[in-house]
Amino acid sequence: MTTQLTGPFRADHVGSFLRPTQLKEARTDYAKGNMTKEQLRAIEDECIIDLIQKQKATGMQGVTDGEFRRKYWHYDFIEQLNGIEGYEEEAPGFFQGEMTKLHKYVVSGPLSFPTNHPFLEDFQFVQEHAGEGAIAKQTIPGPNMIFHSGVIANPRYKENPVYDSLEDVANAIAILYQNIIQTFYDHGCRYLQLDDTSWGAFFSDKFRETIRANGYDPEEIMKIFANITIQALEKKPEDMTVTMHICRGNFKSAWLYEGDYEAVSDQLFARVNVDAFFLEFDNERSGGFEPLRTIEKQQVVLGLITSKSGELEDKETIKARIKEATKFVPLEQLALSPQCGFASTEEGNVLTENEQWKKLRLVKEIADEVWG
């Protein structure tokens, strides 16, 4: 009997990869009307199968589709939910001026998970091709991406609230994610990652002030963030691993938030009972490891290898940082990964595919030497 693999792994990754030239050209042709949806999907399939093999060849046991079928890491999933309305706004200065237009969404009706959500078929394709020695990992945006961007930070929702109270919409999002988690489980998913960068809004005074300007107390909102995720996990099947990835934004190697995890440690690390956190620790904007002191049983995947540049880290420096982290979390609860995906949007970060794979091989080499 084959033992079921369980993530996170000592050497792991966040999920997205640089889109190969073939795929970029196909998406351009499709946008111009020179290719059918079926033809584009066939090329996506081909690129994803190749990507899975490359991940396995690098030593990765958790494999993804690289988010190759998406334009954005979050928008493509959220816009397909019932009760969400998407729209576009100008975004001058966003991500250090790299982003000029922002795809946004608002809660515009009762929330529910459609039984034909396209990500379910996408997951099953990865599962079908993962093969021996690997497990298909599914990444989706976390529940507070909806609560933050679609409710409390959204003027459209404030003008036309769908639910009677903030508590009601928070409850609806939690129930939505209970259904999402169960539906992915029913489709065979045993390794699910919630990407929830909205927690970054509490890291610095700048974004806390924005929350206050919208009429909310950041401390109270943070508690609701934690409560939503805890409630979303209440019915999680025991043999399913659910992790959470938190970073400070990622668009063409630019970032959005800054500040350490201290402000969120009591609500996030001490209360939110995911199986593991994937945490960004690749530079001074992330702060030190001290906030990890509130971690309990959760594993911590240290994002010490940057995905924002091609420069390869020094192996001994990374090992020293892992050792430093053990002052706050036992070594057996730690793992290693890049700090974020390599392409949170289809544009990708500023590095080459060759540099991307060197980064992943370095993660594997260090993990083998530290944990055996």
3-state helix/strand/coil string of the chain:
CCCCCCCCCCECCCCCCCCCHHHHHHHHHHHCCCCCHHHHHHHHHHHHHHHHHHHHHCCCCEECCCCCCCCECCHHHHCCCEEEEEEEEEEEEECCCCEEEEEEEEEEEEEECCCCCHHHHHHHHHHHHHCCCCEECEEEECCHHHHHHHHHCCHHHHHCCCCCCHHHHHHHHHHHHHHHHHHHHHCCCCEEEEECHHHHHHCCHHHHHHHHHCCCCHHHHHHHHHHHHHHHCCCCCCCCEEEEEECCCCECCECCCCCCCHHHHHHHHCCCCCCEEEEECCCHHHCCCHHHHHCCCCEEEEEEECCCCCCCCCHHHHHHHHHHHCCCCCHHHEEEEECCCCCCECCCCCCCHHHHHHHHHHHHHHHHHHHC
The residue assigned the tokens 């209970």 is 178
Cα 280 off chain centre by: 11
Contact in structure between 247 and 340 (CB atoms under 8 Å)? yes
Identify the bridge partners of residue 136 per DSSP, sorted by sequence position. Answer: 63
As given in the structure block, the two tokens for residue 47 are: 């690129």
Contact in structure between 258 and 314 (CB atoms under 8 Å)? no
Contact in structure between 273 and 307 (CB atoms under 8 Å)? no
Could you list the pLDDT tens digit for every one of the 372 residues in the chain? 345 788 999 999 999 999 999 999 999 999 999 999 999 999 999 999 999 999 999 999 999 999 999 998 899 999 999 999 999 887 655 444 454 677 889 999 999 999 999 999 999 999 999 999 999 999 999 999 999 999 998 999 999 999 999 999 999 999 999 999 999 999 999 999 999 988 988 887 777 888 888 899 999 999 999 999 999 999 999 999 999 999 865 554 454 556 689 999 999 999 999 999 999 997 776 789 999 999 999 999 999 999 989 999 999 999 999 999 999 999 999 999 999 999 988 888 889 999 999 999 999 999 999 999
Locate the domains of the chain by residue range. Answer: 21-371
Contact in structure between 80 and 119 (CB atoms under 8 Å)? yes
- Tell whether pTM > 0.85: yes
Fold designation for 21-371: TIM Barrel (3.20.20)
